[in-house]
Structure 1
Amino acid sequence: MKKLLKFTPMFLLLIGLASCSSVRVAADYDREANFDNYKTFAFFKPGIDKAEINDIDKRRILRAIEAELMAKGYTKSENPDMLVSIFTKSNQRVDVYNNAWGNGAWGWGGYGGWGWRSGWNNNQVTTTTEGMLFIDLIDANKKELIWQGSGTGNLNANNPDKKEARIKEFVSQMLVQFPPEEK
């Protein structure tokens, strides 16, 4: 039991670090769609143009999607089976950490004299930008959504190389779930 308690703080730290950098992903799809019929893709320009993200990041996302789909055996085509569109959202995430020590006690309070004194409070507030990326795959003939993936995570990356790596991580983790496995 003592050995377990000895490693618990290290385990909790590793879980905390992993959760800070992770991308949370989800996917949904049309259960009637036959994903074996889709072999080619193209980007759906009208949908991509509406994405509220700068052009540099938009190109990074599209390159990452293209690389992932091609690695899965799909081919980019002028006459595609499937259209790819993206949608983005961002939220300001505010985290408040209250590191209070003790409940307070009676005692000397320095300039305030004798009386009830509260415990040590160390409140910290952090704000980060959390972004969501949606990848929509649309049947090119029917113009119907057949698969949608979403990824949520921290977007702050001031270094262009780190930002590109983060975008690739988003796309890669999202497209792990495409095509959906048959049950």
Structure 2
Amino acid sequence: MKSLKLIPLFMLFVLASCGSVRVNADYDKKVNFDQYKTYAYIKANIDKVEISDLDKKRILRSIDETMTAKGFTKSENPQMLVSIFTKESERVDVYNNNMWGMGFGWGWNPWWGMGMNTVSVTPEGTLFIDFFDAKTKDMIWQGEGSGYLTKNTDKKDARIKEFVAKILEQYPPVLKK
């Protein structure tokens, strides 16, 4: 009976883990991030990203919204340059419930049991957002977010905003003293 109560909890955990964006960030610890207040995109790098132009626009629009909310300004003479890169893969989850069995209880009543394997294939993507010092062209920060992708046009905007917001939560880095 306890195992039946755990199934909804397990399914909630599985669904929650599919919906979340896993993030990571790395940065140059010698850089003073307080000096950066303006940014622009590296158009040549963005043109090379192998996703649809519509998805590029969604990502750049989300970056603009998030950076503006953080107090940064898009500029023709930026202190920081921004680039993006994407990767797509398929996440394959196999749930093995393959159990066979036979037993006898009181009165010689036999029981049989059988289970199944369940395979789930989910498209998963990774978005990298890179920041470079505009003068030196050195990378100063990189954020990375991974999670499931959606083909549903109505949900794409929200999903991309979620990716960008989660990644840029890490910027600017909190320097530990």
Q: What one-letter code is carried by the residue in structure 1 that aligns with 2:167?
A: M
Give the TM-score normalised by structure 1: 0.83
Distance in 2 (CA, whole Å) between partners of 1:148 and 1:88 is 13
Q: Describe how 1:92-107 pairs up with structure 2 within 5 A.
A: 92-103=90-101
Equivalent position of 1:155 in the other structure: 149
Distance in 1 (CA, whole Å) between partners of 2:73 and 2:147 is 29
Q: What one-letter code is carried by the residue in structure 2 that aligns with 1:135?
A: I
Of the candidates 33, 56, 59, which is equivalent to residue 58 of structure 1?
56
Equivalent position of 1:120 in the other structure: 114
Aligned residue for 2:99, secondary structure, equals coil
Equivalent position of 1:67 in the other structure: 65
Of the candidates 149, 168, 175, which is equivalent to residue 175 of structure 1?
168
Distance in 1 (CA, whole Å) between partners of 2:84 and 2:132 is 11
Which ranges of structure 1 fall in alignment gaps of 5 or more residues?
106-117
Give the fraction of aligned pairs with identical amino acids, expressed as a percent. Answer: 56
Equivalent position of 1:110 in the other structure: none
Equivalent position of 1:31 in the other structure: 29
Of the candidates 100, 125, 139, which is equivalent to residue 133 of structure 2?
139
Task: Compute the displacement of 1:165 (Å).
Answer: 0.2
Aligned CA-pair RMSD? 2.4
Equivalent position of 2:43 in the other structure: 45
Task: Compute the displacement of 1:119 (Å).
Answer: 5.4
Q: Describe how 1:9-20 pairs up with structure 2 within 5 A.
A: 11-20=9-18
Query: Where in structure 1 do 4 or more consecutive aligned residues deviate above 6 Å?
Result: 4-7
Q: What one-letter code is carried by the residue in structure 2 that aligns with 1:174?
A: I
Give the TM-score normalised by structure 2: 0.86
Aligned residue for 2:118, secondary structure, equals strand
Number of aligned positions between the proteins:
168
Distance in 2 (CA, whole Å) between partners of 1:70 and 1:7 is 46
Q: Is the 8 A contact 1:100 1:121 kept in 2?
A: yes
Q: What one-letter code is carried by the residue in structure 2 that aligns with 1:153?
A: G
1:85 aligns with 2:79: no
Aligned residue for 1:149, secondary structure, equals strand
Q: Is the 8 A contact 1:133 1:152 kept in 2?
A: yes
Which ranges of structure 2 fall in alignment gaps of 5 or more residues?
104-111
Of the candidates 143, 158, 171, which is equivalent to residue 165 of structure 1?
158
1:6-34 residue CA offsets vs partner (Å, 9 max, x unmatched): 97555444332221100000000000111
Task: Compute the displacement of 1:120 (Å).
Answer: 1.8
